[in-house]
């Protein structure tokens, strides 16, 4: 069949429908490109509907509140520290870092505590204000697509679980590439369509327009003028974590070879990951147990009357030598 939206990597192409439901059981049509294996929502809400959703409702729907509770401060600070550990080898004090989709500012705050000149862009007004007021993180309250930033402004740009939400990932990568200094790095992390930690019926989310695997995300970067400096999977959930550079600096992969067999590979993984196999495996139970351990630690940590910033500072001070969460 022909999709309503052309493949973001191949352009006009043919596709197959692989799902007609989202994780809530609502109608959501998801297709896979038979040339490159990219998976996307087709059709999807209009850009206007989409932006209204992110500016006003998205964080509420996810977290029930604009202002993070103390246990969320604890959790998000740990996540931000893990993100920092993952890029630690790239950073030097005084570097200029931009976090796109910076939420309540935890990650730029951790980076600033390490001597990085970090700032954020965040479309949600409540979270952008919180980042400024609680953590003194300079945060532009806007969609990054609308922000006017001079070319070659940043040493490091981070895009953490944002690219799957945008209408045009290729244009996004190209825009962020322009904001990058010639020897800078763009670090992108997204969910991996090949990961099997979600039950099959939980796979597709109305907010996730695109579902990548490492091969087609690397190729998308190449189309946007970026080359791969490093490509890894995050331990546990198998998220894709790619560090891009401008094309002249990184490794260019052969265009034809890279996508060969990728559609078949992704289709096969999706077909094999059935509900029965999922619950017969140890994965869901291990996830449940580790969540219970985490919640107990959070409850212990947020007793008392420490402010959000004191909770974050104590964690940062206690865990500076935390081991990296990534494997090659
Ligand atoms: Zn394609």
Read off the pLDDT of residues 77-115 as tens digits, 9 standing for 90 and up.
999 998 999 999 999 989 999 999 999 999 999 999 999
pLDDT in tens, 128-152: 999 999 999 999 999 999 999 999 9
By C-alpha distance, which of 226, 96, 233 is closest to 172? 226
| DSSP three-state, residue 141 | coil
More confident: 250 or 126: 126
Most confident stretch, 89-93, 235-239, 282-286: 89-93
More confident: 221 or 63: 221
Q: β-pairing, 139-140 with 154-160? A: unpaired
List residues, by chain if needed, whose CB lies under 5 Å from ion ligand 1. 7, 9-10, 33, 35-36, 38
Average pLDDT for 236-253: 80
The domain over range 46-265+282-327 is classified in CATH as 3.50.50.60: no
CA of 39 to the centre of ligand 1 (A): 8
Give this prediction's pTM. Answer: 0.86
By the 8 A CB rule, do 246 and 62 touch?
Answer: no
Domain coordinates of the chain in residue numbers?
Answer: 46-265+282-327
Task: State the Cα–Cα distance between residues 137 and 71, nearest whole angstrom.
Answer: 20
User: From edge to edge, which strands make up the β-sheet containing 226-234?
Assistant: 139-140, 117-121, 96-100, 154-160, 180-190, 240-246, 226-234, 326-327
pLDDT in tens, 295-323: 777 776 677 788 889 989 988 888 765 44
pLDDT the model gives residue 327: 32
3-state SS, one letter per residue, for 289-324: HHHHHHHHHHHHHCCCCCCHHHHHHHHHHHCCCCCC
CA gyration radius for the chain?
20
CA of 190 to the centre of ligand 1 (A): 18
- Under the banding of pLDDT at 50, 70 and 90, the label for residue 2 is very high
CA of 217 to the centre of ligand 1 (A): 11
Three-point CA angle 76, 82, 83, nearest 5°: 90
pLDDT the model gives residue 325: 42
CA of 124 to the centre of ligand 1 (A): 31
- Under the banding of pLDDT at 50, 70 and 90, the label for residue 24 is confident
More confident: 253 or 105: 105
pLDDT the model gives residue 67: 75
């Amino acid at each position: 069949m022909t999709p309503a939206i052309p493949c973001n990597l191949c352009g006009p192409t043919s596709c197959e429908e692989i799902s007609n439901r989202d994780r809530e059981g609502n109608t959501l049509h998801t297709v896979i490109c038979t040339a490159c294996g990219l998976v996307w929502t087709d059709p999807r809400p209009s850009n206007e509907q989409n932006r209204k959703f992110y500016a006003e409702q998205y964080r509420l729907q996810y977290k029930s509140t604009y202002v993070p509770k103390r246990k969320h401060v604890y959790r998000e600070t740990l996540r931000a520290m893990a993100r920092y550990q993952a890029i630690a080898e790239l950073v030097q004090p005084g570097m200029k870092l931009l976090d796109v989709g910076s939420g309540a500012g935890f990650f730029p705050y951790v980076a600033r505590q390490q001597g990085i000149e970090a700032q954020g862009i965040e479309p949600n007004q409540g979270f952008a204000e919180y980042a400024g007021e609680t953590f003194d993180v300079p945060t532009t309250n806007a969609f990054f697509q609308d922000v006017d930033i001079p070319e070659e402004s940043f040493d490091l740009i981070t895009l953490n679980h944002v690219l799957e939400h945008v209408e045009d990932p290729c244009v996004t990568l190209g825009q962020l590439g322009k904001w990058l200094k010639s020897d800078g790095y763009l670090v992108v992390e997204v969910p991996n369509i090949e990961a099997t930690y979600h039950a099959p019926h939980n796979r597709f989310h109305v907010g996730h327009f695109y579902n990548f695997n490492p091969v087609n995300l690397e190729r998308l970067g190449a189309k946007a003028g970026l080359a791969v400096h490093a490509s890894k999977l995050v331990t546990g959930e198998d998220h894709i974590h790619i560090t891009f550079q401008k094309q002249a600096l990184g490794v260019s992969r052969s265009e034809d070879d890279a996508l060969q067999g990728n559609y078949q590979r992704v289709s096969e993984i999706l077909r094999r990951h059935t509900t029965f196999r999922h619950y017969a495996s140890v994965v869901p139970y291990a996830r449940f147990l580790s969540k219970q351990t985490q919640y107990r630690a959070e409850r212990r940590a947020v007793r008392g009357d420490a402010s959000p910033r004191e909770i974050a500072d104590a964690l940062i001070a206690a865990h500076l030598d935390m081991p990296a969460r990534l494997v090659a």
